[in-house]
Chains A and B, each alone.
Chain A
Amino acid sequence: MSELRVFIADDEEPARERLKSLLADIAAEMPTRVVGEARNGIEVMEAFPASGAQVLLLDVAMPGMSGLEAARHLARLPASPAVVFVTAHDEHAVEAFELNALDYLMKPVRASRLAAALRKAQATGAPEADRLERASKARREYFSVAERHRIVLVPVSDVIYLKAELKYVTLRTRTGEHVVEEPLVTLEREFAERFVRIHRNCLVARAAIRGFERSGGTTEEPSWSVVLDGLEARLPVSRRQWPVVKELVAEQGE
């Protein structure tokens, strides 16, 4: 039997050590090799894609980026890993895992359970992205763009506007553009608190709206554009969205 390549992510060093010694204990029935470790979600993003790991043992509560969010980003990789979540005590997370048939282990982890979870993970493979999405209650802190051996993270707070173009959505930040493969509607739902729809194909960060400019001449019906903080470009507001946008700005002015 060939070795199963395992990646361990946990912010606590003793917890990682414990998993490693358990893996050593079950080596006879379940040969494994630890090919990478990470102390938080961001490190997982950096180290995992190149590690060639088949299974990820992923702590749920990690600083910087939660385990669930990390799993959602990894699911975009062409060769996405099987994931076994590990949690100390989080009733909500456990409930979500059960509901969406995601594999998890409770800390302290037992050797027999670890072996069973790895066997199962090997058999079932990577979890589907939409099950991960349904299991996570918190909105993501990052957008991610998966490349072949790399995941590029874009902090949600950096994004000024999102624009749908054909099959893709373009994220515009102060410094550049990124393309993600998610429908604008789903993004609008997840980040409703942060972005407002100004046009059929465009969401704008509420915080980045500096004002509005009348455009389109002096004919009977005026049209409006959004003036943005930190970007020269003006974005047109559709006639349909204008009442909603206007109200929002009135609220902010109060």
Chain B
Amino acid sequence: MMARPSQNVQPDALPDFRNLGVIARIVIGAHLLALGAVMYAEPAWNAMPERYVRAAALLEPVLLASLAVLYFASDSLARLPYWVGCALVLLLVLGLAWSTHLYFDPGAFATTPRTLMLAAIVAVVLLGYLRLNTRAYSPALAEARLQALQARIRPHFLFNSLNAVLSLMRRDPARAERTLEDLADLFRELMAEGRRFVRLADEISLLERYAAIEQLRLGDRMRIAWEIDEAPSDALLPPMVLQPLLENAVHHGVEPATQVSDIMVRIGRRGDRVQARIENPYHEGAPAQKGNRMALENIRERLRLYFDAEATLVSRIENGRYRVDIEIPYRAAS
């Protein structure tokens, strides 16, 4: 594959109209424009709400119809050159504006140009805004931030694992070999660059390798219940999202405890959402809670860069258990 002339300049692209964040921006932007227009046209404060309601009645059908059509056309539009895509979006909005105008107010030909003009202004302003917004979060920029955020394995883990492997060298060379292979896989994943997404099946096998190493260290102090039969193995997710969570669970849930500790890993799919939950015993007052919060913030920020508002990460403490839930949109690997 040939390198692009400049890695830093990303071509303009239409936003993903299925993304909740984009939809929210369009809805809010359109309403702000309507509000501005009303405030300009109506100097009296007390008459403004009524004017706004009337304007909204005009705006809402076009806005909702446009969003619905764009939602379904998003993939096809994304394949077109940017300016062609923009022109199509504009035409689409105009067409919808015209037809709703005719539907709600048949025969009012005199006001048709006004309606179309307003629709065109809103569409152009929003397209311009979304273009700027995409540029601000352009992949090149996001890439740099992602690398900075790339999860790091604790050095503590590396040295303890190497120590455990050394102890196996003479007693059980075969197991020592397997553990080194697991470590190699883990670090290959950690040092991989420039990958946007990995398959869930690969991320799960990484989790299992990581768990095998920890199991060697911690022995019967740690028990992990895997509930992953329902996991959609072809789902795509950003690399190294789940592993740091499991590492946290071991670090904060198992290592500070003298008794046996149970961790649960559950990954599944519900409709078009992929859900993952990791649970561990909670030890009050255990040190390094701050480190945990930072790791969570890190993952949350990465999810936001990948999925905008469509991914969630929630952590809570309940019945002496610490639990992290992640939800991302289900996108299958092709």
Contact = CB atoms under 8 A, between A and B. Distances in A.
Interface of A: 11-15, 17-18, 21, 39-40, 42, 61, 63-64, 88-90, 106-109, 138
Interface in B154-175: 154-156, 158-160, 162-164, 166-168, 170-171
A66 to B, nearest CB: 9
A107 B159 contact: yes
19 contacts: A12-B163, A12-B217, A12-B219, A14-B167, A14-B168, A15-B160, A15-B163, A15-B164, A18-B163, A18-B164, A63-B255, A88-B160, A88-B163, A89-B154, A89-B159, A107-B160, A108-B162, A109-B163, A138-B287
Contacts of A90: 156
Interface of A is mostly: loop
Given A14-B168, A17-B171, A63-B258, A89 B163 contact: no
Contacts of A18: 163-164, 166-167
Nearest to A42: B258
Contacts, number: 60
Contacts of A64: 258
Nearest to A41: B258
Contacts of A11: 221, 255
Contacts of A89: 154-156, 158-159
Contact of B163 (A14, A39, A40, A63): A14
B163 A13 contact: no
B160 A12 contact: yes
Closest 5 CB pairs of A and B: A18-B167, A14-B164, A14-B167, A88-B159, A89-B155
A150 B159 CA distance: 34
A108 B258 contact: no
A89 B167 CA distance: 18
A12 B155 contact: no
B258 A88 contact: no
